[in-house]
A and B are shown apart, each in its own frame.
Chain A
Amino acid sequence: MNTLTILWIRQLKKYFRSKARIIGSIGQPLLFLVALGFGFGPIFAKAGGGNYIDFLVPGIIAMTILFTAIFSGIEIIWDRQFGFLKETLVAPVSRYEIMIGRTLGGATIAVLQGALIFIIALFLGFSPNLALLPFAILFAILIALFFTALGTAIASLLDDMQGFQLIMNFLVMPTFFLSGALFPLAGLPAAITFVAEIDPLSYGVDGLRGALGSVSQFGMTTDFAVLGVLTVAIMAIGSYLFSKIQV
């Protein structure tokens, strides 16, 4: 076994052992799905948007992946506080390997969590087109990788959980709300359109939506290209910042 695999397995073991975490992280997306899905459904249909649940679910899956992934990345702060980070930092393996192993682990969990929401949504009336499911999985993986690496990059710069609220309110929440996860990006005020277009999650949501049978705003090729390039870039930045951690 190599470093990458063992650190990946470590994340998965910790995830599957923490039932509270699995159940807890279903709660919020489920609430959004039920409250918004059924609450706004009739208005959305009346406005000519079609089935809101079908529109909303890809957004909620993206949200689930976003939250889980960012948290997995930020877990480094916990590892720093509880000491395990040191154990990996003094080991005779490259820090890039450690960073990538952790990121893969976190991303896998995020994708699994997204899949769980996907399955639950099927029972709530979600009727996706499954022909392009492999592409949907691809987009899920890209979103997961991007945000786990982003979480890692941020966590590498933080000493403790003090900045956590800041990240939640000024990064994670806006990323979610302004990504088009909840509403179509067509016909919005210019400022909001601009923010949505620089929001990486927009491309994830849009790609996921396209792959699951709804209309894609940017086109799936653009979504893939943008998200792919950003993911590679943030992995590089995250690896660099991680390699500079001191304890």
Chain B
Amino acid sequence: MTSALILIVDDNATNLKLARVVLAGAGFEVRTANDAEEALHVLEVCRPRVVLTDIQLPGIDGLEFTRRLKGDPARSGLVVIALTAYAMVGDEERARAAGCDAYLTKPIDPDGLVRTVESFTSSPAPLKR
């Protein structure tokens, strides 16, 4: 089985590195971007199974970024996992409403992150409609 490709978007370099190390360590192939704009460029050239995005991003924030990905019919089947240090009431609801498939809060638990990503990648990719 070829390893699934994961795109991680976070403006904090150290946290980006942590998620990369954790997921690469679990056998995933990983791409990274520092903000949503850069992520959109990455998405022009590769097709990840999962996008793991911070919500608080400079410029286009994680929620808007998610809405764009989920609103694009060419990307149906793409999984978006929100990752945020902002755990206020209603944040998860807002993330879900924007189209996020899962919501994780920082600080991340490495094993928990791997399990969540695996839950979306262990089954075959849905067929494009």
A and B from one complex: no
Q: Which B residues contact A (CB, under 8 angstroms)?
A: none
Q: Which A residues contact B (CB, under 8 angstroms)?
A: none
